[in-house]
Each structure stands twice: as structure tokens, then as C-alpha cells.
Amino acid sequence: MPQENSQQTSQSTRTSARIVHFVAWFCVCLLPAAQANDVTIPSLDGKLQIPGFWFTAGATAVASDKRPAIIALHGCDGARNSAGKVSAGYVREATYFNAEGMHFLVIDSFTARGQKGICDIPNADRTIFEEDRREDVFAAIRWLAAQADVDAARIAILGWSHGAQTVLSVLDRTDKYVQAQPIQPRAAIAYYAGCKRFAEMWNYEISAPLLLMSGELDDWTPARDCARLNERVVSGQKDAVINFRIFPGSYHAFNGTTPVRTVYNAANTKTGSATAGGNPAAREASYRLMFEFLSAQFAQPLRLTNEQRLALTAHRYVIPPDSGFARFDNSAAVPVKSEGRARYEHYLDLPPPKAFVITEKNGWFFGANSTDAIGMAFASCAKFKLKCWLYAVDDKVVWAPEPEKRITLEKLQVR
């Protein structure tokens, strides 16, 4: 009899756990995309006002609670879209971190220095360097430390490409400028950094735990240079905490959502071009690794599984590949009436998941901030009895000039 009661209790416990898990999953699915607040961060020397996009994790039950914060460092293409707003990819990233109770700060190192991007500028001709951006990071750390709801002891830096190289510069504890900073980051993550310069430094050491991730096939910032850097740090710094991963079959920007493509006018490459684009398997694996790394460094249990986290910004339908018709942020290319192009500019500012459709009368509808954004847009077409085709989804254009190649709702597959 005691054994039977024990089994019934165990069964009840498992049932309750499933109910709790379902409720948590249901609530997670209803979380809105992160919302950005424009902020300005004074540089340490007082000469610049650095623009930033501040995504707070929200209020806690206890007013005195302080939360970790992530400083996000954009790549060579900058932090903004053509409309001057924060790019959709950073809204997606912020959504993941906010859902874990972490603040997210994107700092724009280019605008205040008169640049939109530097991807096509060779190193010898650039006027913005990793050391300039390193100063921005420490200014951002000071700004974060002054926020009442930020835990200054749990600030991490996260960078992509040129931003990842800035991460490596921030962590250089052999540098006197770095040594002089009163608050250091607790942890750092670098996606597809250009590691060659740091690998060739005879005395490079890191000041905080580092997660370093590269794509096996990256021909812009090769993984071999980061492998050399990892070997140097591991062999030369006994107290270093470094986790280096190479993702098979992956190019530059493997954690993105755009298809693999050739990037022309890619500076600092032998051919003047490079290959870049997302790898779904590597993207999923890298996010799992990153959040587990931060959970350990911040001593903060994760709220979501990786599947739940990625589902926050996943579309209900399988997204078609980029058609190459136009750049996502080129509103002039959208085949709609002039006022429709203005609405497309508005669409660019909306948080993902999102979708924009074009009607048979050159009109438009769109849906945003929902995993069923595509269905929402097409539902408007059905309401007004109009034939529609999909033009854009998130940060890719899927439109085709040929009617037979255009995508209707019926052509889409549910995940």
C-alpha cells in the first residue's frame, strides 16, 4: 500500500509538473517582442554622445532587485537600418535576453563618428577602430552601473564580427587602458571575430571568461586565426576561462536568418568578397551554448529551454528563401503605390516576427510582433477579398516579378 501511494504521488507530481510546464510555455509564447528606448551615453572623455538602444527586462516583484545586463556590439554594417532605426536583428536578440530577465543595450559606435558602416573600407583607410569602440564599451559599463535596476557585477559584452574584435580588445588585460577601468565585464561572447591581430600578440591575456565562436567555412574572419588565439590563451594564461567552438558547415554571420550569399566589396579579404549567411543548426547550437555560458557566469538559472527561447521569434510558417529582388530596407523597390512605400518604412521599424504582403491592386497589408504575422497579413487580404502575395518576411525579401513565382498563403508550409 505505501508503494502504491508513492506511485500515485509521483504520478500526481509529474502531472502537476506538466501543467506548470504548459502554463509556462503558454505564457512564453505570448511575450511581446522587446521594445527599444533611445538613450545617449556620454563618452569617458566627454567629447562624444554615443547613441544606444536600451531594452529593459522589465520590473521585478522586488523594487531593489538588480538584473544582469548585456552590451551588444554591432558588426561593420552598424546598428541601424536604412530608416535610421535599430535593425530588426537586435530586436530579436533583445527579445531572447529580456525573456531571461537580462537587460540589453545596443551601442551605436558609428553614427556619432559620422559613419553608417565600414564593411567596404580597408583597415588602412578606416577612421574607427576597435580601440575607439572599446572606449564606448567602458562608457556604457559606467552608464549601466548608474542604473538602479542593473547589477554592475553582472555585465557581459556580446559582439559580432567587428564588434567581436572589440570584445577581444576590451578583454585585453595587458593593456594599460583596460587595467585602469574600475568596472570590468563579468563575461564576454564573441561571434566570428577577426582574431589574427590578437593571436599574433605575444602577451595577450583575457580579463574575463570568454565564449569564442567561429564558422568552419568563414572566409572573411577565418576560424583558424581564432583557433590560434585560443591555443595561445590556453597555453599562456593558466587562470583563463575560454570556451572556443567551431561550427561545421558555417560561414560568416552563421547565427543570422538570411540565406548564404556572396558579399561584394568586403574589405580586408584576398578577393574583395566574402560568403555570409545563416546556418539554422549552428544558430540553434550557438544560442544554447551562449545562454548556458551566461547562466553559469551570472549564477542565474535559465527560465526557458533553447527551443522555447527561439520560438519567441519563430514564424508559424516556413519562411521562403530570399529572392534577391531587392534589399530588405530598400523601400523604393517595393512595387506598391507611393503611400505604400511610406507604410513599408513604418513596417521596417516594427519588431519581428513580421511580414509584408502586396495586393493585386498594388496595395499592401502587414503583420508584426506575432509568430503568426504572415497569417495576419494574409487574413486582411481575405477580409477584403483581394489576391495577395508575400513581399517580405523579417529581414528578407521573397517577392518575384514573375506572377507564377510569387508566394501565396497556399504555397506556404506550416512548421
* pLDDT 10s digits, 130-141: 999 999 999 999
Q: 353-362, pLDDT tens digit by residue?
A: 899 999 999 9
Domain 28-311 fold is Rossmann fold (3.40.50)
Residue where the block lists cell 564606448? 136
Preceding omega of 353 cis (within 30 degrees of 0) = yes
Residue where the block lists cell 509564447? 29
Q: 287-344, pLDDT tens digit by residue?
A: 999 999 999 999 999 999 999 999 888 899 999 988 999 988 899 999 998 899 999 9
Where does the pLDDT of residue 64 fall: very low under 50, low under 70, confident under 90, or very high at 90 and above?
Answer: low
Residue where the block lists cell 477584403? 384
CB atoms within 10 A of CB 299: 9
Q: How far is the CA of 68 from the CAs of 108, 183, 308, 413, in angstroms? A: 20, 14, 21, 39
Between residues 4 and 121, the one the model is more confident about:
121
Q: What is the pLDDT of residue 85?
A: 87
Q: What is the pLDDT of residue 122?
A: 94
Where does the pLDDT of residue 88 fall: very low under 50, low under 70, confident under 90, or very high at 90 and above?
Answer: confident
Q: What is the overall mean pLDDT for the chain?
A: 90
Q: Would the pTM of this model clear 0.85, i.e. be above it?
A: no
Written as one letter, the residue type at 293 is: F
Q: What is the pLDDT of residue 61?
A: 52
Where does the pLDDT of residue 19 fall: very low under 50, low under 70, confident under 90, or very high at 90 and above?
Answer: very low
Q: What is the pLDDT of residue 375?
A: 95
DSSP string, 81-96: -TTSSBPHHHHHHHHH
Q: What is the mean pLDDT of residues 386-400?
A: 94
Q: What is the mean pLDDT of residues 177-193?
A: 98
Q: What is the pLDDT of residue 3?
A: 33
Q: How far is the CA of 373 from the CAs of 315, 355, 366, 378, 409, in angstroms? A: 7, 6, 7, 9, 12
Q: Domain residue spans in the chain?
A: 28-311, 331-411
Q: What is the pLDDT of residue 164?
A: 98
d(CA 165, CA 129): 10
Res. 105: pLDDT tops 50 = yes
* Contact by Cβ (8 Å): 191, 159: yes
Res. 260: pLDDT tops 90 = no
Interior CA angle at 330 toward 326 and 335, to 5°? Answer: 70
Where does the pLDDT of residue 32 fall: very low under 50, low under 70, confident under 90, or very high at 90 and above?
Answer: low
Where does the pLDDT of residue 18 fall: very low under 50, low under 70, confident under 90, or very high at 90 and above?
Answer: very low
d(CA 186, CA 188): 7
Q: What is the pLDDT of residue 146?
A: 97
Written as one letter, the residue type at 335 is: P
Q: What is the mean pLDDT of residues 169-183?
A: 98
d(CA 53, CA 56): 10
Q: Tell me whether residue 279 is exposed, middle or buried, using C-beta atoms within 10 angstroms of its C-beta: 0 to 12, 13 to 18, 19 or more.
A: buried
Where does the pLDDT of residue 58 fall: very low under 50, low under 70, confident under 90, or very high at 90 and above?
Answer: confident
